Amino acid sequence: MVSSFGWLDVDAVQRQKMLEVVDLFRESGTVDDLGVGTIRDAFSDLLFPGTSVLHTRLRYVLFVPWLMQRAQAKGSPGEMSAEFRRLEFRLITSLLEGGERQGVIGNTARSGLNQLPSAMYWSALGAWGVRDVASVDAYFRRTHDLRALDRRSVRADDPESQGNTSGSGIDPHLPPAPRNLLTSAVLTLEPEEEQYLSDRIAASARGSMLGWLVHHQPTNDPDRVWDIDNLADAPENLRNVVDHAKRYSLAINGGALLYNLLLAEKSEQVERADEYREALDGWRESVAAARTFTGWNRADFWGTVRSGNPNLRPMTATFVDRWLDLVAADDDVASSSEARSLVATREKNIKGGRARLLNQAALDRWNGASGVGRNDFRWLVARSHLRDLYTAREGMKAA
């Protein structure tokens, strides 16, 4: 039986979360076979609020409301929605005509695109204060109602009061759309756009690494946020969150490696099993070299996690705590019966009969590497957005 995802008519943020889950299942390095993704997401939201694994380039945060504003010229909410969808597809062609390739959503799928920018970036628009309306359709209904109300009202004598977008659902301070938006658009931010987004993100994400990094550019460009060269300059509370994330990322990675070792053994793939044993040896050395558990306040760690996700399931916390205890004791998890049982039981508890270690058909679909990548907590996405801000800022200085 082929597995599939489905959902009822939910709000746009919930839909984005489902799209993220679907997208993650395409990435062998990030699949959440042990059910600890809620902890990953808690740290991701604390460090880089508004970001999503579905994001490509930052200017889409402006493209979406610009297209919404253009579509509102139609007469009815239904016509506005239809026009908006058409404009989202037209934007693909415009970006390609502008010379863009990498980072263009739909550059391959074109009219067959299922995940449109409005769905991917909707949460960011809300988190960063660009919109205050629940959905695109709600925006068009509100626009239609305001227009009808305006027609029934006595028009003000002051021309500046007319056309005021206050209350429409989109930030009235949004920069104007470029003339080439639908002909030859580019992904590079203009100076005014950079200033707007920098201000919005810094204000809305205040207290996060994303908000702090907007105006504190590191001089290096690492693949992990804990390796930025100006981390020591960040506020202490942010350094603490990053420290917990770093320790957890390394410690939990062994669980994924052990899980894959069990799958290799179960499927009698001798060479692959040897590779995972070797990987676990290297991971164990890394844990020791990084002094992962030295001075780690686990109570503060869990307090931080729950500040990002107050609804963390007790079973998830119990599993992770027991795993961390085994790792802290320097247990050779590759040969530990307790560690093996812990991981196998965890998969059974979250997947039931679909667990690969119990279901031969599910095991046969294993591609040899499931969830083996270390968590970066959406740093690579945040880094891309920050690069767009930094590049635009540097270009303005050079001019």
Q: What is the pLDDT of residue 114?
A: 87
Q: How far apart are CA 57 and CA 114, in angstroms?
A: 18
Of the candidates 236, 238, 286, 275, the one whose C-alpha atom is nearest the C-alpha of residue 369 is 275
- Give 155's DSSP letter: P
Q: How far apart are CA 62 and CA 76, in angstroms?
A: 23
Q: What is the pLDDT of residue 397?
A: 72
3-state secondary structure of 170: strand
Q: How far apart are CA 209 and CA 223, in angstroms?
A: 15
Q: What is the pLDDT of residue 14?
A: 55
Query: What are residue 131's phi and psi, to 5 degrees?
Result: -140, 155
Q: Decide if pLDDT at 205 tops 50.
A: yes
Q: Decide if pLDDT at 1 tops 50.
A: no
Q: Which tens digit of pLDDT belongs to each residue from 119-140?
A: 999 999 999 999 999 999 999 9
Q: How far apart are CA 336 and CA 326, in angstroms?
A: 9
Residue with tokens 């931010």: 189
Give the pLDDT mean for 313-341.
96
Q: What is the pLDDT of residue 12?
A: 54
Q: Which tens digit of pLDDT belongs to each residue from 364-398?
A: 999 999 999 999 999 999 999 999 999 999 987 77
Q: How far apart are CA 10 and CA 130, in angstroms?
A: 21
Q: What is the pLDDT of residue 11?
A: 53
State the chain's mean pLDDT as an integer.
Answer: 91
Query: Poorest-confidence range of 4-13, 60-69, 216-225, 388-397?
Result: 4-13
Q: Decide if pLDDT at 91 tops 50.
A: yes
Distances from the Cα of 105 to the Cα of 61, 89, 96, 306, angstroms: 13, 9, 10, 34
Q: What is the pLDDT of residue 162?
A: 43
Q: Decide if pLDDT at 27 tops 50.
A: no
Domain ranges across the chain: 11-54+189-399, 59-186
Q: Decide if pLDDT at 399 tops 80.
A: no
In this predicted model, which residue has the larger pLDDT, 25 or 355? 355
Q: What is the pLDDT of residue 396?
A: 74
Tokens at residue 2, please? Answer: 């082929």
Distances from the Cα of 173 to the Cα of 42, 162, 182, 193, angstroms: 31, 15, 21, 11
Q: Which tens digit of pLDDT belongs to each residue from 271-306?
A: 999 999 999 999 999 999 999 999 999 999 999 999
Q: What is the pLDDT of residue 25?
A: 42
Q: What is the pLDDT of residue 161?
A: 45
Give the pLDDT mean for 168-174.
94
Q: Which tens digit of pLDDT belongs to each residue from 37-84?
A: 999 999 999 999 999 999 999 999 999 999 999 999 999 999 999 999
Q: How far apart are CA 113 and CA 347, in angstroms?
A: 33
Q: Decide if pLDDT at 6 tops 50.
A: no
Reported confidence tier of residue 153, pLDDT bands at 50, 70, 90: confident
Q: What is the pLDDT of residue 227?
A: 98
Reported confidence tier of residue 361, pLDDT bands at 50, 70, 90: very high
Q: What is the pLDDT of residue 266?
A: 97
Q: What is the pLDDT of residue 102?
A: 95
Distances from the Cα of 76 to the Cα of 68, 82, 111, angstroms: 13, 10, 24
Q: What is the pLDDT of residue 164?
A: 46
Q: What is the pLDDT of residue 20?
A: 53
In this predicted model, which residue has the larger pLDDT, 209 or 110? 209
